[in-house]
DNA sequence: CGTCTATTTGAATGTACTCAAAAGCGGTGG
DNA sequence: CCACCGCTTTTGAGTACATTCAAATAGACG
C-alpha cells in the first residue's frame, strides 16, 4: 500500500530513504465505501488523498442540477480539491467514491509541515502540479477543438481500463455531453465497425 | 519594470531582499514587436517570460488549420509553454505577441539554477502553478456546462480591459467558437440591452 | 485612394440537448 | 425460481446551439 505511494513519488522526484519515510509517515490509510462522499460543496477540503484502490470522481454541480466531472482518480492517482485544500476556503466541488476503495490521506497541516521540514517535498508537488496542469491544457485544447464523438474515441483509446469502469452518465459528465447523446455516439460507432 | 516583477513575486511568496535580488538578476529584458512569434510548434520552449507590457496569446493550431487559445497574457502575467519548458521537448503550441511589448525572460537553465540555489523559488512556482491550475479547473467547468453565450458574457465581465483589446477572431479561439457565431452573440446581446 | 484585415449577415447544415417513453439488467426478497 | 425494484441504457421526435460558406460592409493604415 505504501509501496504504491513510494513508487509514485519516486517517479516524480528522487528522495532519500529518510525523506521518503519521513514524508510517508504523514499519511493515514482510510477505507471508503461505494457512493461515499469524501468532500461536498461548501466544505473546506481537509485532505489530499493518494488512491491505492477504488475509483473516485471529482465533479461540480451547477444550478441546473447537472454535473461536470473534472477528473477521475483510480489506483496511483492523487485526489483533492487543490483550490480549497491550498486556500482552506469552502469548496465548489464534490468528491465521490464510485467503488469500495482505499486511500492514503494527508492533512493540510501535515502537508504544510512537510513543505517546511522536507525541502524536496516542495519540488515534488511543484513537479506533479506542473504535469497535471500540462495534462489539463491538453484536455482544454481538445474541448476547444474536437466534437464529442472524437473526444469519446480519444478517451476510450487512452484510458480503456478506466472507460469500462464508468457508466454512460459518469463518462458523459466528463466529456461535457448528455448521456443520451453519448448513447447515440456509441451506437453510431458500433454500427460502423 | 523589475518592480512589477518583484511585486508579482511578493504576491505569491515572501522572499528576503537577497533572495529577491538573486532571483531577479536571472531575468533579461526583451522587447517584442506586434505579430512576433516567441515560440512556434516543434520548437523547444527555452524561456519563461514575465510580461511587463504588451499582450500575448498562447495557442494551438490543429490539423484543420483552426486555432485554440489556451490563454492570453498581459501586464504582470507569466507566459511559457509549461510542458515544453519543463520537459525540454518540442512544443505543440505557438506564442504570439499581439502588440509591441516587453518581457522579462528567464531561461530553463537559470530557472533550474534558481530551484537549486534559492529554496523559496520552488515554493514560489509551486504556489503559482497551483493557482493557475485551479483557474484552469474553473474554466474547464465552464466549458463543460455553459453555452458560448454565457462564456462570452462571463469573460467580458471578468476581464473587461482584456476583452476590449482582442479581436473577435482572437476571443472566439479562446471561447472555442467560430468568429461568425461570436459576432451573432454580440448582436443578440446588443439588441437586448 | 487602394489594400488588408476585421466584422456582419444570411442560408443551409450539422452537432448536441431536452423530454418522454421503452427496454435491459442486476440484485433482493418472497 | 421468479417477480419486482432501482438504475442504466436506448430510442425517437422536436428543438436549440453552433458551424460552414459566401458575400457584403466597415475600419485602419500607408
B17 has a chain A CB within 8 A of its CB: no
Quick one: pLDDT band at residue A115, thresholds 50, 70, 90?
A: very high
B179 domain-assigned = no
Same domain, residue pair A74 and A158: no
The CA distance from B136 to the nearest CA of chain A, in Å, is 7
* Percent of chain B topping pLDDT 70: 100
Average per-residue pLDDT for chain B: 96
- Evaluate if the CB of B67 falls below 7 Å from strand D: no
Between A68, A130, A138, which is nearest B86 by CB? A130
Q: What mean pLDDT comes out for the span A32-43? A: 95
Residue A137 Cβ < 7 Å to strand C? no
The separation, in Å, between residue B180 CA and nucleotide D20 C1' comes to: 10
pLDDT for A1: 83
pLDDT in tens, A167-185: 999 999 999 999 999 999 9
In this model, does residue A193 exceed pLDDT 80?
no
Model confidence, pTM:
0.96
In a domain, B56, yes or no: yes
| pLDDT confidence bin for A191, thresholds 50/70/90 | confident
What is the pLDDT averaged over residues B17-29?
Answer: 98
Domain that holds residue A113: 2-145
For residue B193, pLDDT over 80 is answered with no
A139/B137 CB distance under 8 A: no
A147 reaches B (C-beta below 8 A): no
A134 and A89 inside one domain: yes
B73: in domain: yes
- pLDDT tens digits, B97-136: 999 999 999 999 999 999 999 999 999 999 999 999 999 9
pLDDT for B73 equals 97
Using the structure, give the distance in angstroms from the CA atom of B50 to the C1' atom of D19, rounded to a whole number.
37
Q: How many domains does chain A have?
A: 2
* Contact B169/A at CB under 8 A: no
Mean pLDDT, residues A108-130: 97
Q: Is residue B122 part of a domain?
A: no
The model's pLDDT over B31-80, given as tens digits with 9 standing for 90+, comes to 999 999 999 999 999 999 999 999 999 999 999 899 999 999 999 999 99
Query: Over 90: is that where the pLDDT of B191 sits?
Result: no
Which chain A residues are closer than 8 Å to B134 by Cβ?
82-83, 86
CB-based contact B77:B12 (threshold 8 Å): no
Q: Are A128 and A99 contained in the same domain?
A: yes
Pick out the nucleotide with least CA–C1' distance to B185: D18
Which residues is A31 bridged to in the sheet?
A102
Q: Do A186 and A109 sit in the same domain of this protein?
A: no
Q: What is the band of B192 on the pLDDT scale with cuts at 50, 70, 90?
A: confident
The domain that holds A93 is classified in CATH as 2.60.120.10
Task: Decide: CB of B187 under 7 A of nucleic strand C.
Answer: yes
Amino acid at each position: 500500500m505504501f509501496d504504491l505511494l513510494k513508487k509514485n513519488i519516486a517517479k516524480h522526484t528522487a528522495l532519500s530513504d529518510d525523506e521518503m519515510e519521513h514524508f510517508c509517515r504523514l499519511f493515514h490509510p482510510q477505507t471508503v465505501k461505494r457512493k461515499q462522499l469524501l468532500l461536498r460543496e461548501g466544505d473546506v477540503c481537509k485532505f489530499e488523498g493518494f488512491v491505492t484502490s477504488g475509483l473516485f470522481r471529482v465533479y461540480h454541480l451547477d444550478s441546473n442540477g447537472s454535473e461536470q466531472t473534472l477528473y477521475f482518480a483510480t489506483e496511483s492517482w492523487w485526489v483533492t480539491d487543490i483550490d480549497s485544500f491550498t486556500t482552506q476556503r469552502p469548496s465548489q466541488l464534490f468528491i465521490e467514491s464510485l467503488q469500495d476503495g482505499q486511500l492514503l490521506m494527508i492533512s493540510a497541516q501535515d502537508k504544510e509541515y512537510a513543505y517546511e521540514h522536507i525541502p524536496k517535498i516542495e519540488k515534488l508537488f511543484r513537479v506533479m502540479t506542473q504535469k497535471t496542469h500540462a495534462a489539463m491544457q491538453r484536455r482544454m485544447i481538445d474541448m476547444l477543438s474536437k466534437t464529442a464523438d472524437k473526444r469519446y474515441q480519444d478517451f476510450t483509446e487512452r484510458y480503456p481500463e478506466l472507460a469500462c469502469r464508468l457508466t454512460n452518465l459518469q463518462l458523459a459528465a466528463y466529456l461535457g455531453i448528455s448521456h443520451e447523446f453519448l448513447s447515440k455516439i456509441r451506437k453510431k460507432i458500433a454500427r460502423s465497425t
